[in-house]
Every structure is written in C-alpha cells, then in structure tokens.
Structure 1
Amino acid sequence: MNHLVISFITKDRPGLVETLSKVIKQHQGNWQTSSLHHLSGCFAGVLEIAVEQAQCEALTTAIKALDGFKIIIEKTTPAQTSNESTVVLELTANDREGIVEEISAVIHHQGGNMIKLVSVQDNAPHTGQPLFKAKITLAVNNEQTPSLINALENLADDLMVDISR
C-alpha cells in the first residue's frame, strides 16, 4: 500500500471536498487523515491517502489535473512508532510578532517535535487586546516534558500553558 501526502490550495467554493473525495474514491484510494481550512477566501489543506500501487500513478495524475487547484503530492511510507509520548499544549498569550518562532524554538531546543499546530488570533473578552491562542501536539521524551513546560512558561509572563496527554 502506498501513502500519498497531498497539500493543496484553491479559491474557496462549494463542493471542493466532494470533488477531492470523488477522485480518490474513483481510484480506490482511502482518505486517511486530513486538515482542511478556509483561510482568507481560499481553501487549503493537507491529507493522507492510502492507495494500492496499481492505482497510485492514475490517482496522482487525476488529482494534479483538478481545475483551479495548486497541488503538491509526496509519496511516503507510514511513520514508525517511537518511544516518545504525545503531549497536547494549549497556549494563550498576548499576540505579538515572532511568538510562533519563540514557541517553536523552545520546543525544538527542549527536544520536542511539533506534530500539529493550530493557532488563531482572538480578542481578550474585557479589553479587546489581541490574543494568540494555539493548540500544539508534540512528541517528546517523558523525561524532557517538565523542562519543556518550564521553558515555555518562562518564555513570557503572559504565556499560559495547559497540558494534556
């Protein structure tokens, strides 16, 4: 079984997921994992498809032929399991330039590997001040988790970190 990681962007319009899923089904592909978003009038996403070798080239060709899509397709093998555990961090801080770089640098230097980042800019309820909110899933060695959390909390006085597993 081949795995395809497909990233795309297109002008948003109704029926885009149906269009993608129909092409995948026509080539006996199996939609595995995805993250799809409406962003500033565009529709963008990343998805993983499992497909038999015999259908892989035809599926790749059909997806690349979709009208109006900018597409990148990477043939991959599924990731092997590791000794790391998954930790989910929910972060809230006053929004500022460079905050994602600051957070990602701490995670990297503390031995974490960011698996997923979902962020939004919101306004504080009473003041209206811009807030940065993020939910980050990362893989980290259990022994490094406390120092990682400590380093994140020391990044700024206004950064709140909630942890779950």
Structure 2
Amino acid sequence: MPAPSSFLVISALGRDRPGIVNELSKTILEGECNIVDSRMTVLGGEFAILLMVEGQWNTLAKLESALPEIEKRLGLTIIAKRTEERAPSSNQLPYAVEVVAMDHPGIVHQLAEFFSERQINIEDMVTSSYAAAHTGTPMFSVTMSVGIPANLHIATLRDDFMDYCDSLNLDGVLEPIKGA
C-alpha cells in the first residue's frame, strides 16, 4: 500500500518573462511531485504563481531543499509551506459573487466586510480594472467564490447583499455555483 501523499504550497513572485511556468513545472515533475492546484497571473510587470504540489514526504523534502537554487536561477522570490488536503465542508454552500462598479477605492474591503460580518468565507477572488466601452469610464469588477454557512437563510442573505450593493452603487449578483 503506497504511503499517503503530503502537500506543499509554493508561492513565487518575480519579473514576468516567458518560460517561468515551464521551468517550475519541469522541476516539480522531475522531483516526482505533481501540481494538483494552481493560480497564476501577471500583475503589472510581475509574474505571480501559487501552486499546491502533491508528493511523498521525501520527494517534497527534496523539492523544498531545491527551492533556494530555483529561486536564484529564475530570479524569483519563493515561499513554501507544508499543508494538508482540504477537508470537504458539508455545512457550506458554494456561491458565486460578481460585482461591477465605477472604480473607486474600498470596493474589495467593503465586500470583504459584508461577508466577514456574516461568517462567510471568501475562497477565491479575482479583480480587474478596465475602461468602459464607448465612454472610457474607469470600471472595477470582482468575481468571488464564497462558502455560505448552510444555516443562513439564502433569500434574506441575497436581499441584504443586493441592498448593500445598491447603497454603495455596486451592480452585484449572488448565485449558487452550478455543479459544485
């Protein structure tokens, strides 16, 4: 019977250039580990990546010891931390949140505060700024996945969320994630 897998979260940040993902994924594969989850993006001129890597404890230890050399070779700042597989939550309902508004400071904080006050966990979030078509008005969009406690009354939460968005002049949607 094979030994249970261990997990390592790796965060890397550095000047964007072609080949970073290739080099990181090659190192992970050659170390007999596997990428099980990842997020990557370019922000300004910087490349950022989060990876959850799975492997046997000894292969992850070898990968951890290789990270300083990889950091130097690729010109990245790398942080790694051991973790465990996330246990499925039976008492949380997966919902998607989408908000669009004219860009102004504080939108992310206001949304985070709304959900935090209700003990709703923000599990994933993507934001972007862009110019509105035709007018060029600075716009801001937020897309989130949240875990809503099953004991919350969804219709009341949705009404509260819509009222909150209206009070801040945000166009918002809160709906279940289909297939989750």
* TM-score bin, normalised by smaller chain: over 0.9
The equivalent position to 1:7 in structure 2, one of 11, 29, 32, is: 11
The equivalent position to 1:84 in structure 2, one of 64, 88, 92, is: 92
Partner of 1:127, secondary structure, is coil
Distance in 1 between residues matched to 2:56 and 2:108, nearest whole Å: 38
Q: Is the 8 A contact 1:23 1:63 kept in 2?
A: no
Distance in 1 between residues matched to 2:61 and 2:36, nearest whole Å: 18
Within-5 A mapping of 1:101-120: 101-120=109-128
Length-normalised TM-score, structure 1 = 0.93
Amino acid at match of 2:141: K
* Per-residue CA distance 1:138-157 (angstroms, 9 max, x = gap): 11124423343333322343
Q: Provide the aligned length of Structure 1 versus Structure 2.
A: 165
Distance in 1 between residues matched to 2:69 and 2:157, nearest whole Å: 44
Report which stretch shifted further, 122-131 or 91-100. Answer: 122-131
Residue 72 of structure 1 is matched in structure 2 by 79
RMSD value over aligned CA atoms?
1.5
Q: Is the 8 A contact 2:165 2:172 kept in 1?
A: no
Moved >4 Å (runs of 4+): none
Amino acid at match of 1:155: Y
Partner of 2:160, secondary structure, is helix
The equivalent position to 1:44 in structure 2, one of 28, 35, 48, is: 48
Residue 171 of structure 2 is matched in structure 1 by 160
Residue 139 of structure 2 is matched in structure 1 by 131
Assess, with a 3 A threshold, how the Cα gap between structure 1 residues 41 and 98 changes in structure 2: closer, same or farther: same
Show structure 1 runs of 5+ residues with no match: none
Identity among equivalent positions (%) equals 27
1:114 to partner: Cα distance:
0.3
The equivalent position to 1:122 in structure 2, one of 115, 130, 144, is: 130
Show structure 2 runs of 5+ residues with no match: none
Length-normalised TM-score, structure 2 = 0.85
Distance in 2 between residues matched to 1:128 and 1:142, nearest whole Å: 41
